[in-house]
Amino acid sequence: MLPVLIADNSRSVLKILSGMLENRLGAKVVCSLSLNDALLAIQEEGPFLVGIFGTVLADATADTIVEQAVQHIPTVIFTSRVDAATQEAMWSRGIVDYVAKESMESFEHVTSLVRRLHHNPEVNILVAHKRQLLRQRVRGLLERQNYQVLEACDQNQVFQQLQEHDNIRLLLLDATLEHDATTRMLNKIRQVHSQEELAVMVFAGPEDGHNVARLIKFGAGGSISQEFTPEELYSRVSLNLDMLETLGRLRDMAIRDELTRAYNRRHLLQRAEEEFERANRHSTDLSVIMIDADHFKNVNDTYGHDVGDEVLRQLTRTAEKQLRRSDLLARFGGEEFVVLAPETDLDGAVDLAERIRRSIDALRIPVDEGELRFTVSLGVAQATASDQSVESTLKKADQALYQAKEQGRNRVFTR
C-alpha cells in the first residue's frame, strides 16, 4: 500500500486517524499540521495513495487548502463544514470524497474509504448507457476513486465486455437501454453471472419506476437517478460492492475448510461430479491426486496441535502454488487432501504430483526444537470409461495412495 498523508491542525485527529490506518490497514502515515508541511511531504515522500485534509490549518484558508491539495494529490476532505454550497465547491474542484467530522464513526468511515482506494484498482466496473456524456461523467468520478472503468453504449457491447473481461464486479445499466429490452438482457446476464459474482445497478429517470421494479426482480441491486450527485454515486456503488463482498464471504464459508482455506469435501464432490460428466460428454481427460501427510499423528503428539495445524496450512499453500487456475485443491478429511485436475491425463497428473511432493519435501517449519520437516505421499488416478462415477476414480487414487504408504512414503503411485 502506498503511504497516506494526513494534514490537520488537531493533534488528536492526527493521532487517532493515523493509529487506525496503521493498525487496521498496515499503512505508512505521514502527518502534517500545516499546508506547507503537507505540500513539502508530497514533494519529498510521495507518491501517496491519498491525502486526507482538514479544512482548518494554521497557514491556509479552507478554499486554499482544497485548491492546493487537489493539484498535487488525490484528496479526501475531513471537515465539520458540510453545507450544500461547500459540498458543491469541493466536488467541482475534483476531490476524491469528503467525510464529515461528527463522531468516532467518521474516523471509521475514513479508514474504510482508504481501504477501498487501495483495493479499487482490482475492481472493474462496466458503465452501460446510451448517453456518452453520462458515461464520461460516471467514468471520471469512479476513476477518482481508483476503480477500473469500462464502457458500453448498447446491448451488444455489454455482452462483449462481459465476455472479454471476466473480472467485472459491477454493471451500471441504463434502465431504458435498447428501448425496453433491459429486462430480457438482465435475465440473459443472470443466466451466466450470479448475484454473488456480478452486482447490477440501474440508471433510471422519474418515469422509470415500473421498469426498475421489474429489473430488481431479475437481479438488479437497486437504482440510481440519472441526475445523481457524486456522493449518491459513490454511496450506491460502495453499497453494492460491499454486498458482493459479504455474499462472497458467506459463499466461502460454505465451500472452504476453515483451518486451511482449501475447498471442503462437499464442494470437491460437487465439482468432481460436474467435471466427471463434462469429461465423459466431451471425451476429455480428468485426473485426481490423493495427498496424505506422512506420520501426521506423530507431529501432533510430538509438537502439539498448533504445529499440526500449521503443517496442514503450509501443505495447502505449497500445493496450491503448483496448480493451474482450473485445478481444485480440497481438504478431504483430517490430513488428507485431493487435487481435481480437469483436462489432465495420467502422465500430466503424475508430473503435477511430483512437483507437489518435491515442494513440500523442501519445506521447513520453525519449531521450538529447531525446524520441522514433513513429507507427503500421493496417489494418482485418471478417470476412464470403466469408471461408473467419480467415486470410482477417487477410490483408485486412494488405493494408489495406500501403495505409496506401503512402499515407504514420500512418493507418488498410480492406478
Residue 248's pLDDT is 87
Residue 83's pLDDT is 79
Q: Is residue 63 part of a domain?
A: yes
Q: Is residue 288 part of a domain?
A: yes
**Inter-helix orientation angle 265-282/390-406, to 10°:** 110
Q: Is residue 350 part of a domain?
A: yes
For residue 27, the Cα-to-chain-centroid distance in whole angstroms is: 19
Least Cα distance to 13 among 107, 149, 126, 128 occurs for 107
DSSP H/E element including 151: strand 148-152
DSSP H/E element including 414: strand 412-414
Write down which residue in 223, 255, 287 finishes a domain.
255
- Give the count of beta carbons closer than 10 Å to the beta carbon of residue 375: 14
| Radius of gyration over every alpha carbon of the chain, rounded to an integer in angstroms | 27
Find the CATH number of the domain harbouring 93: 3.40.50.2300
Identify the domain containing residue 376 by its residue range. Answer: 265-414
Q: Are residues 173 and 109 in the same domain?
A: no
Q: Are residues 283 and 408 in the same domain?
A: yes
Residue 93's pLDDT is 92
Strand 370-372 relative to strand 336-342: parallel, antiparallel, unpaired? Answer: unpaired
Q: Is residue 251 part of a domain?
A: yes
Question: At a CB cut-off of 8 Å and minimum separation 6, what does 307 contact?
Answer: 299, 300, 365, 367, 372
Q: Are residues 175 and 233 in the same domain?
A: yes
Q: Is residue 260 part of a domain?
A: no
* Calpha distance 160→101 (Å, rounded): 44
Q: Are residues 269 and 410 in the same domain?
A: yes
Q: Is residue 151 part of a domain?
A: yes
Return averaged pLDDT per consecutive 10 residues of the chain, 415 residues in all: 95 96 96 96 94 93 92 94 83 93 92 96 94 94 96 91 92 72 83 89 72 74 86 92 90 94 96 94 95 96 95 97 96 96 96 97 92 96 88 95 95 93
C-alpha dist (Å) from residue 182 to 11, 156, 242: 53, 12, 24
Q: Are residues 131 and 98 in the same domain?
A: no
Q: Is residue 169 part of a domain?
A: yes
Q: Are residues 277 and 384 in the same domain?
A: yes
Question: At a CB cut-off of 8 Å and minimum separation 6, what does 381 contact?
Answer: 287, 288, 290, 346, 393, 394, 396, 397, 399, 400, 414, 415
How many independent structural domains does the chain possess?
A: 3
All cell numbers assigned to 174: 441504463
Write down which residue in 63, 90, 113 finishes a domain.
113
Q: Is residue 118 part of a domain?
A: no
Q: Are residues 378 and 272 in the same domain?
A: yes
Q: Are residues 364 and 269 in the same domain?
A: yes
All cell numbers assigned to 350: 503424475
Q: Are residues 302 and 280 in the same domain?
A: yes
DSSP H/E element including 92: helix 84-92
Ranges of H-type helices in 328-385? 346-361
Q: Are residues 44 and 156 in the same domain?
A: no
Q: Are residues 406 and 334 in the same domain?
A: yes
In the sheet that 223-225 helps form, which strands lie side by side, from edge to edge?
A: 148-152, 124-128, 168-174, 199-204, 223-225
Find the CATH number of the domain harbouring 410: 3.30.70.270
Q: Are residues 321 and 211 in the same domain?
A: no
Residue 207's pLDDT is 64
Write down which residue in 255, 282, 310 finishes a domain.
255
